Amino acid sequence: MRAPRVYKTEAIVLKQSKLGEADRIITCYTPYLGKMRGVAKGVRRPGSRLSGHLEPFTHTSLMLAQGQNLDVITQAQTIEGFWPLRQDLRRMSLALYAVELVERFTSEGLENPGLFRLFSAMLHLLGQAEDPESALRFFEVQLLERLGYRPHLDSCLRCGRAPASGGNYFSPSAGGLLCPFCRSEEPIVYPLSVAALQWLRRLQAVDIAEMDSLKIPQPQLKELALRAREYIRYLLEQEIKSAAFVEMLHQEEGRSRAR
Ligand SMILES: [Zn+2]
């Protein structure tokens, strides 16, 4: 469907880049237009009416006019600024990672309102959850699910056996679980403990409303973060840049706690 000349959409801002003297290109995620880019004119000049409503991960309401190349953002009004995220470096780094995941995994013009709702609920949760890291693991699992990359975890992908009780393997290329007998069937596999597998399956099944109270124990949290990173790297054929930043902050925190 061709968009009308002037149109309105909800959007979550993913990133900004400079354009010319005073403009910016805003990349955002929308419920029905998928990922999209628009030009915000004059937004780098002091006193711009748009600028405060187009910061990364702001949930905003946009009015756009069709342009020759990129559409032009004529109005922007913040729906939610997610302020708790902006006041806490740790939470903000997790949100930036979530934003980068959405930015990398989605395409322009491909609608996915369910993913949009998940993303907006997630930013909310990252700002207030007692354990935002557990919430982020949930987001990875659910994002992959909504994009058609749900890993198969119920049985071994090769032989169909139930998961072994002593631990199994995860294969990014096969997209799921391999038992100890079949692990050598895939070139690259990573160990997956029984406890981490249970958590993964739980994260596939729970609703976001329940995530407020879920806290994944530290060892499994770490294991799931690694498995997600490997799987995502395989799917995207590249690293998520902000993952390294999250990891660095985590190590800094660990060091300052040890002092
Ligand atoms: Zn097997």
pTM of the model: 0.91
- Cα-to-centroid distance, 198 and ligand 1 (Å): 18
pLDDT exceeds cutoff 70 at 228 = yes
Domain extents in the chain: 6-81, 84-258
The rounded distance, in Å, linking the Cα atoms of 118 and 121 is: 5
The overall average pLDDT reported for the chain is 92
The tokens for 46 are: 């002091």
- Distance, CA 195 to ligand 1 centroid (Å)? 19
Please give the helix or strand (H or E) that residue 207 lies within, else none: none
Q: Contact, 12 vs 113, CB < 8 A?
A: no
| 160 touches 121 (CB < 8 A) | no
β partners of residue 178: 169
| 63 DSSP β-pair partners | 8, 75
Handedness of CA 230, 233, 236, 240 (dihedral sign): positive
| Measured CA angle at 19 (ends 40, 16), to 5 deg | 60
Residue whose tokens read 């060091």: 255
The 3-state DSSP class for residue 17 equals strand
Task: Give the HSE-up count for residue 116: Cα atoms under 13 Å, Cβ half-sphere.
Answer: 22
Is pLDDT at 175 greater than 90 in this prediction? Answer: yes
Roughly what angle, to the nearest 10 degrees, separates helices 218-236 and 132-146? 30
Superfamily name and number for 84-258 = Recombination protein O, C-terminal domain (1.20.1440.120)
> CA dihedral defined by 32, 36, 42, 47, rounded to 10 degrees?
50
Q: Per-residue pLDDT tens for 116-151? A: 999 999 999 999 998 999 999 999 999 999 999 999
pLDDT at 220 over 90: yes
Q: What is the DSSP string of 42-88?
A: TTTSTT-SSGGG-STT-EEEEEEE--SSSEEEEEEEEEE--HHHHT-
- Kindly indicate the confidence band of residue 250, based on its pLDDT and cuts at 50, 70 and 90: confident
- pLDDT value of residue 209: 87
φ/ψ of 100, rounded to 5, equals -65, -35
Determine the distance separating the centroid of ligand 1 and the alpha carbon of 179, expressed in angstroms.
4
CA 165 to ligand 1 center in whole angstroms: 13
Distance from the alpha carbon of residue 169 to the mean position of ligand 1, in angstroms: 10
Tokens representing 250? Answer: 């985590």
List all residues 6 or more positions away from 188 whose beta carbon is below 8 Å from its beta carbon: 171, 172, 173
150 Cα to the center of ligand 1, angstroms: 19
Write down the CATH number for the domain with range 6-81: 2.40.50.140
CA of 184 to the centre of ligand 1 (A): 10
Tell me the average pLDDT across 76-86. 95
